Amino acid sequence: MDLELPIDGTKVEAICGSKLTNNCYLAKKRNHLSMSQSIRMLIFIVVFFCLTARWVSAADGYFNLSQTLRVDFVLVGNHSWQKGYLAGLSRYQGWSGSANQLISPFDFGEYRYLLISPETGDTLFRRGFSTLFEEWRTIDEAKEKERAFQQTIIIPAPLKPVLLQVDARDRDGSFTHLFQEVINPASLSIEVKQANNHPHKLIHGNDNPQQRFDLLFLAEGYTVDEQAQFYKDVSRLTNQLFEVEPFRSYKNHITIRALAVPSVQSGTDDPRAGIWRNTAMNSSFNTFGVDRYLETEATWQVFDYAMQLPHDHVVVLVNSNKYGGGGIYNHFSVVTSGNRYSGTVLIHELGHGFAGLGDEYFGADVSYNDYINLETEPWQPNLTTLVNFSQKWPHLLAPGTPVPTPVRPMYKNSTGVFEGGGYVSKGVYRPAINCRMRTSDAREFCEVCTSVIIQKIRFFTH
Ligand SMILES: [Zn+2]
């Protein structure tokens, strides 16, 4: 789900030159949303929050919202089974998430974690997330081997004992428990972590983390001497981010910080080129055998650095000119800084990592097998198998729009239900002919993706 999109200037041309010859409008710029689309989207967002916002009342007195409790665990298994084991608890100063909305209204992600009151059984906190491990489970290697992956989740520090429950989705989309742990905040086994003191810069916004969406860039593969270049790269990518809706309209809700973590060597691992570098977060191309897939498995290390500054989402910015990246929902995103597509890749990866959007492309080189179960409705908000489309974006379809919607010029700027997405050409449908979650040629996100990103920004800022 979380692989960055292939370079699609050529891909769109290839589509135009093949059996979709008449559909070359795929490569044209997508216009700004029409007035009626904007009104429909606004109504949906307001209704969504009225229906789903759960305020802090049930959790009153349960949390210290000026501290974070971090849970490190490992996910272990292969393609057919998985288990989770607690590896460590720690706490540190600061909580950058919303002080009001502790229970996420978003049912996104392959996993979720909940905090439950042992006294009343009330759910006090809930978040969905995805993992690199779950992606690995869908590749061929997982049929032959068992592996362990690091994972980290964060919660506001509890003041009373709470039950932590970590769940994973089954193939049918329902959740089963991976592990549970009673967290007693008085326990001496909870390490008090001290943040590092690396140089950093406020690139955009202000220092009011509980009312802003806080995006934190971590330098990866930048030496001490390359610190100025890192800040320049973050500023350039920030400018590119704010050229695209809905980030442009919501830039006053967003804070961007840059943390200059030093690496011993410059660059990143590029196994196919025989290049190996000693870097702060041990990132590498060729994840799961796909050259452009850039990730790091050193999750605990990433969060050791990130704790220094407020963050609702972390971007590991890798000092490389090569095309690549990756983004995993409520985990972190990774992108190179020096490629001419870096801004495009960043925006796409934030679609995955921050907003939980699925890839709307298909026919590209990926390692995943049967990533989406065609017999259930996927959790990705911008993909449907039509098993239960009423949960998705029917409210954004103009009256008379056929479902499925044929790929015809009359629908080029319309929200519809177009076949092909989630890495397969049949059985999975996407909301628009083109979108930032489909090709790098799409200037904007589609209407569905845009509305989800707005909902996510508002979640962190209200
Ligand atoms: Zn989209």
CB atoms within 5 A of ion ligand 1 belong to: 382, 435, 437, 446, 449
CA distances to 297, 337, 342 from 321, in Å:
21, 7, 9
Look at residue 404 in the predicted model and tell me its pLDDT. Answer: 97
How remote is the CA of residue 27 from the centroid of ligand 1, in Å?
15
The answer to whether 28 and 16 have CB atoms below 8 angstroms apart is no
The DSSP secondary structure of 396-407, one letter per residue, reads GSPTT--SSPP-
pTM to 2 decimal places: 0.87
Would you state the CATH architecture of domain 200-353? 3-Layer(aba) Sandwich (3.40)
Rounded to whole angstroms, how far apart are CA atoms 450 and 435? Answer: 10
Domain residue spans of the chain: 9-32+363-446, 56-192, 200-353
Look at residue 36 in the predicted model and tell me its pLDDT. Answer: 54
397 falls in which pLDDT band (50, 70, 90)? very high
Would you state the CATH architecture of domain 56-192? Sandwich (2.60)
How remote is the CA of residue 360 from the centroid of ligand 1, in Å?
7
The answer to whether 150 and 299 have CB atoms below 8 angstroms apart is yes
Decide if pLDDT at 15 tops 50.
no
Question: What's the mean pLDDT in 231-245?
Answer: 97
The fraction of the chain above a pLDDT of 70, given in percent, is 86
155 falls in which pLDDT band (50, 70, 90)? very high
How remote is the CA of residue 430 from the centroid of ligand 1, in Å?
7
How remote is the CA of residue 431 from the centroid of ligand 1, in Å?
6
Look at residue 101 in the predicted model and tell me its pLDDT. Answer: 83
Q: How much is the mean pLDDT over the chain?
A: 88
How remote is the CA of residue 261 from the centroid of ligand 1, in Å?
33
How remote is the CA of residue 449 from the centroid of ligand 1, in Å?
4
208 falls in which pLDDT band (50, 70, 90)? confident
Which residue, chain included where needed, has tokens 């930048």?
222
What's the pLDDT tens digit per position in 333-365? Answer: 999 999 999 999 999 999 999 999 999 998 766
Residue 67, SS3?
strand
What's the pLDDT tens digit per position in 410-441? Answer: 999 999 999 999 999 999 999 999 999 999 88
- 161 prior amide bond cis, ω within 30: no
How remote is the CA of residue 218 from the centroid of ligand 1, in Å?
27
Question: What's the mean pLDDT in 225-236?
Answer: 98
How remote is the CA of residue 24 from the centroid of ligand 1, in Å?
18
Structure tokens that stand for 412 in this block: 């080029």
Structure tokens that stand for 26 in this block: 């795929």
Burial 319-343 (b: 16+ CB within 10 A, else e): bbebbbbbbbbbbbbbbbbebebbb
Judging by beta carbons within 10 Å of its beta carbon (0-12, 13-18, 19+), is residue 199 exposed, middle or buried? middle
